[in-house]
Amino acid sequence: MKTKEIIMLAILGLTPLVAAAQENESRFGFEISTGLSVATNKLGDAVLNTGFGAEGIFHYRFIPSTGVYAGWGWNRFSSDNSFAGVNADFEETGYVLGLQFKQSVGRLPFSLYVRAGALYNHIEIENKEGDIINDSGHGWGWQAATGVDIRLSKKVSLTPGVKFNSLRRDIIFDGTARELKQNYLSLRIGLLKRF
């Protein structure tokens, strides 16, 4: 073989190793978060009390600053008095799928992130005994979020943030059609494990 061919083969052989060495962060991750949720409007005629929720999402980064996320979430709000009765609970559960952009801040051990995604959720209404008395069925909504990824180690981060969920579903309750607009702001703290 000629010298030029040997050099080219060596460069081509080493390129994946160099690229892997430059890879600072794993492409996959799993994040679990929890926190308070505050409704931004009435749900039907129901004034919702401060709620609580949790979300688990998988991440896949396909280019250095951009990736996708998908998972499942749950939020629960109570209402002292509503069309569903006294002390009714409204639970929103379902799935989320979206895009995430994350940018490092210089050499600091944290990054800023922005997320935008689609929800496929439903709203369950429970009476004061905890029995499900109505279910809206799943439908489409949207989610937007922002926060900070604070690196605790090479594989683990703390992820405080804020997100906004919006879901619109129709139900029939006691023979009356109602449009439920579930909009709320969530303050979340999460833990992200990269692998």
Q: In the chain, where does DSSP find H-type helix?
A: 3-22
Nearest C-alpha neighbor of 139 from the set 117, 169, 116: 169
Residue for token pair 């994350």 = 102
Its domain, for residue 127, covers 26-194
Asked if the structure places residue 62 within a domain, the reply is yes
* pLDDT band per the 50, 70, 90 thresholds, residue 137: very high
Asked if the structure places residue 49 within a domain, the reply is yes
Asked if the structure places residue 54 within a domain, the reply is yes
| 3-class DSSP assignment, residue 23 | coil
The answer on pLDDT for 16 being more than 70 is: no
181 vs 27: CA distance, rounded Å = 36
The whole-model pTM stands at: 0.82
The CATH number assigned to the domain holding 147 equals 2.40.160.20
Question: Across 40-136, where does the E strand assignment appear?
Answer: 51-63, 66-82, 85-104, 110-126, 132-135
Residue for token pair 């979020």 = 145
Q: Which pLDDT does position 22 carry in this prediction? A: 38
Asked if the structure places residue 3 within a domain, the reply is no
Asked if the structure places residue 44 within a domain, the reply is yes
Average pLDDT value over all residues in the chain: 89
Q: Which residues pair with 38 in a beta bridge?
A: 185
Residues in the chain, how many?
Answer: 195
The answer on pLDDT for 142 being more than 70 is: yes
Picking from 10-24, 80-94, 157-171, which range would have the lowest pLDDT averaged per residue?
A: 10-24
Domain count, the chain: 1
Residue 24 or residue 14, greater confidence:
24
Asked if the structure places residue 8 within a domain, the reply is no
pLDDT per residue over 24-71, tens digit each?
Answer: 568 999 999 999 999 999 988 889 999 999 999 999 999 999 999 999
> What's the chain's Rg over C-alpha atoms?
22
Residue 73 or residue 9, greater confidence:
73
* pLDDT band per the 50, 70, 90 thresholds, residue 116: very high
The answer on pLDDT for 96 being more than 50 is: yes
Q: Which pLDDT does position 102 carry in this prediction? A: 95
Question: What is the average pLDDT across 73-78?
Answer: 96
Picking from 73-82, 118-127, 133-142, 173-182, which range would have the lowest pLDDT averaged per residue?
A: 173-182
